[in-house]
Amino acid sequence: MATVSVPLRKKRRSPGRLVAEIVCCVIAAMVAFPLYWMVLSAFKPAGEIQSATPWTFAPSLESFERVLGSNGFGRYFLNSTIVAICVVALSMLLSFLSAVALTRFRFKGRTVLLVMLLVAQMVPVEALTIPLFFMVQQVGTSAPAFGLNQLAPLVLVNLAFSLPFAIWMLRGFVAAVPAELEEAAALDGASRMRFTWQVLFPLVAPGLVATSVLAFIHAWNDFLFAQTLIFSDVDNRVLPQAMRVFYKPEELDWGGIMAGATLMTIPVLIFFIFVQRHLASGISGAVKG
């Protein structure tokens, strides 16, 4: 990464920069501290949880064992994973198709659709819990798999609410593929369908990965819709709800809660590190235009 030091007044090493670097490191440590404390507390043995010692010489897995062994945490983890994977896969497919249509096809009402897509992002979907609750209840009477306390409606709801943004972000990636490629493919006799899947799709793949991480986080984090739609079936709960199970004001098991939080954060962190280069290039690439 090349630096463009904004004020170019002094290019040489200056005491100012050293101060800035020290401040930078201190702030980085402060930002990382909650996460460090979370992981540390998860590994501390039961007796040390309450102490403010910022390290431990006897790391133990007992908190993790307690979490994984009780209250069906593993089951909830699996449920959350299933929901998130379904949302990611479907979101990639649907947003790719829509982004292609919105960027590479010219048709009446395109601008209207784009504005609607923008407006859709502003809808406070959290307010829709009430109608969606009744809707899912009703659907459930004829199609039980899509009714209350099932994972399928959760997938659809999370998919729908992460779509507008996914399409919007992917648009930039699809538009960045030069039109000459499309002309060349057409000259070679490739159909529109073939061009879309064999040329466009591989070229847009990094963008798809970057947008998919946002759909993943959306689904993985959702608590409100899970709490509303899966309110009584204990087996079909998802991870954010499981965290609530551990939080009992009477007997706070902070070690267990921190272990659970760590387990919940790890998949997102892995996903993030995996795609962060694409995410950054997506953002900066779009900015350049």
Partner 1 sequence: MTTQIAPAAPDLEVQAPRRPARKKRDGRAAAFYLLPAGILLAALMAYPLFQLVQISLYDYNQPQASGAEPLEFIGVDNYIELFGDPQFWSVLVSTILFAAVCVVGSLLVGTGLAVLATRVRAVPRMLLFLAALGAWATPAMAGSYVWLFLFDANFGVVNEVLGMQGHSWTFERFSAFGLVAGEVIWCSFPFVMVTMYAGIKNISSEIIEAAQLDGATWRRTATQVILPILKPLLVIATIQSIIWDFKLFTQIYVMTNGGGVAGRNLVLNVYTYQKAFAGEEYGLGAAIGVVMTVLLMLITVVYLRTQRRSGWQP
- Compute the distance between CA of residue 244 and CA of residue 246 in angstroms, rounded to an integer: 5
- Compute the distance between CA of residue 138 and CA of residue 199 in angstroms, rounded to an integer: 43
Nearer Cβ to partner 1, position 153 or 236?
153
Question: Taking the CA atoms of the chain, what radius of gyration do you get in angstroms?
Answer: 24
Looking at residues 184 to 213 of the shown chain, list those that interact with partner 1 (rule: CB under 8 A): 186, 192
Looking at residues 103 to 132 of the shown chain, list those that interact with partner 1 (rule: CB under 8 A): 103-108, 110-111, 113-115, 118-132
What one-character DSSP code corresponds to residue 152? H
Residue type, 124: P
Minimum distance between the CB of residue 86 and partner 1, rounded to whole angstroms?
A: 13
Looking at residues 60 to 89 of the shown chain, list those that interact with partner 1 (rule: CB under 8 A): none
Work out whether 17 is an interface residue with partner 1 (CB under 8 A).
yes
What one-character DSSP code corresponds to residue 199? I
Minimum distance between the CB of residue 214 and partner 1, rounded to whole angstroms?
A: 5
Looking at residues 230 to 269 of the shown chain, list those that interact with partner 1 (rule: CB under 8 A): 231, 239-240, 243-244, 247, 249, 252, 254, 257-258, 260-262, 264-265, 268-269
Looking at residues 269 to 288 of the shown chain, list those that interact with partner 1 (rule: CB under 8 A): 269, 271-273, 276, 279-280, 282-288
Minimum distance between the CB of residue 284 and partner 1, rounded to whole angstroms?
A: 4
Minimum distance between the CB of residue 46 and partner 1, rounded to whole angstroms?
A: 12
**Per-residue x/- mask for partner 1, residues 41 to 60, rule CB under 8 A?**
x-------xxxx--------
- Compute the distance between CA of residue 159 and CA of residue 140 in angstroms, rounded to an integer: 19
Helix (H, G, I), strand (E, B) or coil at 151: helix
Contact residue for partner 1 among 64, 164, 200, 204 (CB under 8 A): 164
Contact of 162 with 120, CB cutoff 8 Å: no
Minimum distance between the CB of residue 150 and partner 1, rounded to whole angstroms?
A: 15
Q: Which stretches of the chain are DSSP H helices?
A: 15-43, 62-69, 73-104, 110-122, 129-142, 151-175, 179-187, 192-195, 201-221, 224-229, 239-246, 254-288
